[in-house]
Structure 1
């Protein structure tokens, strides 16, 4: 048998960084946990590592040609998206008295500071609340229109101007807030390599991993991509895929807001914050009865069944069939708080259950497969 060849870093749902190698039988994990003997196990190559191992990286082969490509594409997209810019600007001004554009300091190429541009999604007091840390959940710091912009990712659209003026490129590591550098230095190995390339509007870790993936795991993928050259044809396809999904998510968000008007979801404020309605998802109760999963956040599960479960503690199994045909499942502990009829002309009972404490693995799987907290869908 040929000597195994190290290809890169795989991502396991338990958040640990695991080195995988190609053998005659396929991919295997070689665990590197402290104080443990390495253990081999079957492993599916992730979408992120597949892209990097196919040679799609962040390093430009010809800096001048790369600048022409990025700035030229940004100029074209600015013209094409100008109606969207105008609509968001008007909506921002109507819904809030705050400035429509946010400017924040970020670290770019060689650690130089530049001002990133975004459509404002947070109140002016958010800077103090998020100093030295990421945005806490449900702090009510989002503006009335900001929640939609963050969920749809349309708040990033003004960064086309950052690309046009040379601060950023389309494909690269996301720029880091200066205040978060101590956090990154404590958790991410080989951090300096990300400053050898320009930061990007989109990156592999941002597009394919939820925020619950550890900074260490995301950092390993970033470091690997920062050593690989850009390949433009696959890059254009990747940009088109991301852009198309962001546009569809934005349109779907508008229709979802209209659809939920007057629904039980809209009547309960504790359902705010990342509430999703995943397709092809079910809930299996301890009794074996199967219900339709119609809404979920990182705190609440909403499902519809013919017979209501008793209020109190329940172990639920969430299942979802992905586009690939693969079915993912998560067992979670919940507390069913109340049941209510669906309403006039509708049969069935809608139940609301609050999710209990989650393990790191459960949180990762919930974020990735049920809350769709990746830019690209699972």
Structure 2
């Protein structure tokens, strides 16, 4: 198609050279109807529509370091080991938690002994006071005939004193018991905390291996900088490590520079093949287009429009494609057996108001066009041009040419 356009352009330019000196500097193209195809090339990656996430094992935010792992794209079976991690910090934390547990147990035992001793001493004091109180009570109620009056008065005073002392000892006993229970409760709470930490760290140490939940192909997850995990990488438990995609439903996610994305629409045909393997070409249709273009590189202002096209499952099985492969997609904007087009550089305006300049009998004539599909460099013309029309692409400045 490009060869035919160049030939027509050359013939038109030769014809223009035999006209006026101005025409010798005029670039022309002769309108011609024929096979017409507009395509836009896009690049992207094969991905799964759905995938099972694989997270770094362990409690949330526990540091992990990879000591062994399978490479990206490896086919795995259910239960197969995918990666192994080390957890030096968890080992240290577990040892510290066990030390804290031992200290807590010793502190609790010491506190119980202290409380028992204090309770025992208070008990002995109360028994002594009860004995003295019984004696004082007996003498306080004796008759004058039995003992002297002064002895009776002393006994009455002793009974009152011992009664108050007994109440004080009972109050101290209750306070000691309540305080002791509170202190033991604090120690028990500390014990539960240390025990929880110990269980968590033990669970971390018991979860240093990541295994495949089902058969599939391992696809490693990139971080914010686009880096894949590797041996020696420091990760956090709970973060995404990889995924196992569903190979029965794959799609290619493509990206097209915004300036070349004119005319792209859902439902258009796209010819897909892996990078470097044009023989593995399959036909698909665009089934999703992003609402707006976005930048992909902080260092570049160029925006790209994201597209998605579902890949036939039989092609995935036949060619052995796996997620992560780089793909090329040729999006077919127009494929007509017989159509006419003009270079975009010749158009003035767009839509229903588009026009071109045509040379007719040595004079410029403005033609109004009805346009169809617009490509990156050319646009389909539905009405307004005739076979053989000489389209003015550019004219020489006044005063040039001889």
What TM-score does the superposition give when structure 1 sets the normalisation length?
Answer: 0.19
More strand by share: 2
State the TM-score, normalizing by the size of structure 2. Answer: 0.19
Greater C-alpha radius of gyration: 2
Structure with the greater relative contact order (CA < 8 A, sep ≥ 6): 1 or 2? 2
